């Protein structure tokens, strides 16, 4: 179902304050904006500087951005010349956590992301603030189990290994212990947390939305060749290998495939081995607004990931009117109605993915449903009010 058809909040007159802390705005910044519009927004602690986010007047924000700026600045440096991303982002996250813990203000709830909120949650407990671990990704051990076979297939070492990530795993375990509630965007992560032993009543499912201004709705099926979009990091985790294999099975010379996102050396072998038809275009990383405009030219978005807690680009594409084909490991599958607004395919099955591509090429359409952030905020507002006993 579309997000606008999700259950809406009840008892919204209750006054609560919901604060967020995140190095990267990802989904939480838009959620914080939507909660502010409902009158329950607290402080937003940001790893991005204020000038980068450009919040509306009156939006309460404090920043701790030095390490984030360094980390993302180094992403412009070739992989071989910079520290490993796993080390770099842990350095970013632990520094952010310390800074925010020192500036944390009393509120009703504080949402933090795994790996970057241990000290924040410790301070929140001292202040009597309810802690919510907001899972932008699934539990790390389960992530590793899902993606490690992809690295083995490519003959590469995964960026993280459980035997080399003891400190990070222990940190997340402590955050899990300190969390009063867990906020997830999909049933995929809910099921993963249940396997970790988290009580069902402590898990909130709040789907993600998309900004209609950044992702304007296109009602017209694009003219020209059937055009497949992929958007995300060109990594092994994203299952690009299986998209390329599906395109080889289809063998259509008149199709075009556009890959939006930063290139990763780990998928170079898959691209080099491609023997299919059509035109492959690597567009590089682009701002969200540019991607939103480009969606008008997309026939379908494909996200065939090995592991994906939600897949924000899916709801962005749906908001723009683009059908989406996702693997059954992508959390945003919760929003997909088979062959109405997209397709869900078994992960790693290039033959079924090829069948769905052929079907969508023969049955082009646009998605009319809306997927804004307000209904998502309404769900979180209701759950928070219930937790607060209001």
The pTM for the full model equals: 0.90
CA dihedral of residues 109, 143, 200, 110 (deg, nearest 10):
0
Q: How far apart are CA 280 and CA 132, in angstroms?
A: 42
CA dihedral of residues 364, 366, 367, 371 (deg, nearest 10):
140
Closest CA to 231 of 309, 270, 283, 308: 283
Sign of dihedral through CA atoms 131, 132, 135, 138?
positive
CA distance to 79, 151, 156, 179, per residue, from 160 (Å)? 16, 11, 11, 24
pLDDT tens digit at each of 390 positions of the chain: 334 333 333 334 447 999 999 999 989 999 999 999 999 999 999 999 999 999 999 999 999 999 999 998 998 888 788 888 888 999 999 999 999 999 999 999 999 999 999 999 999 999 999 999 999 999 999 999 999 999 999 999 887 777 667 889 999 999 999 999 999 999 999 999 999 999 999 999 999 999 999 999 998 999 989 999 999 999 999 999 999 999 999 999 999 999 999 988 999 999 999 999 899 999 999 999 999 999 999 999 999 999 999 999 999 999 999 999 999 999 999 999 999 999 999 999 999 999 999 999 999 999 999 999 999 999 999 999 999 986
Ordered structural domains, the chain, with CATH: 3-209+372-387 (3.40.50.2000), 227-362 (3.40.50.2000)
DSSP secondary structure, 144-168, as one string: HHHHHHHHHHTT---S--GGG-HHH
């Amino acid at each position: 179902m579309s997000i606008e058809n999700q259950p809406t909040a009840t008892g919204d007159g209750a006054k609560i304050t919901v604060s967020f802390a995140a190095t990267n705005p990802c989904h939480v910044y838009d959620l914080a904006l939507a909660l502010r519009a409902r009158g329950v927004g607290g402080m937003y602690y940001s790893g991005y500087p204020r000038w980068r986010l450009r919040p509306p007047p009156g939006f309460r924000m404090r920043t701790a951005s030095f390490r984030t700026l360094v980390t993302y600045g180094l992403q412009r440096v070739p992989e071989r010349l910079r520290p490993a991303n796993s080390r770099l982002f842990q350095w970013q996250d632990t520094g952010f956590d310390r800074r925010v813990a020192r500036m944390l203000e009393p509120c009703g709830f504080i949402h933090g992301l795994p790996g970057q909120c241990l000290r924040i949650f410790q301070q929140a407990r001292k202040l009597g603030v309810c802690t919510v671990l907001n899972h932008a990704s699934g539990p790390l051990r389960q992530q590793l189990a899902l993606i490690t076979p992809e690295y083995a297939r490519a003959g590469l070492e995964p960026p993280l290994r459980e035997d080399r990530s003891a400190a990070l795993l222990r940190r997340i375990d402590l955050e899990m212990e300190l969390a009063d509630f867990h906020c997830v965007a999909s049933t995929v992560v809910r099921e993963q947390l249940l396997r970790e032993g988290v009580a069902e009543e402590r898990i909130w499912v709040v789907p993600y939305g998309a900004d209609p201004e950044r992702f304007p709705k296109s009602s017209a099926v694009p003219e020209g060749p059937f055009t497949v979009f992929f958007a995300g990091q060109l990594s092994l985790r994203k299952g690009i290998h299986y998209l390329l294999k599906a395109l080889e099975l289809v063998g259509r010379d008149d199709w075009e495939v556009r890959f939006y996102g930063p290139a990763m050396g780990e998928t170079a072998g898959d691209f080099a081995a491609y023997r299919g038809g059509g035109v492959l275009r690597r567009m590089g990383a682009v701002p969200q607004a540019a991607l939103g405009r480009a969606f008008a030219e997309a026939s379908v978005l494909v996200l065939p990931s090995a592991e994906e807690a939600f897949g924000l680009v899916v709801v962005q594409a749906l908001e723009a009117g683009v059908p989406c084909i996702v693997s059954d490991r992508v959390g945003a599958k919760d929003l997909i109605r088979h062959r109405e607004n997209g397709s869900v395919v078994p992960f790693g099955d290039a033959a079924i993915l090829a069948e769905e591509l052929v079907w969508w090429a023969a049955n082009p359409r646009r998605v009319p449903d809306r997927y804004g952030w307000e209904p998502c905020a309404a769900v979180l507002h209701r759950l928070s009010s219930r937790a607060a006993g209001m």
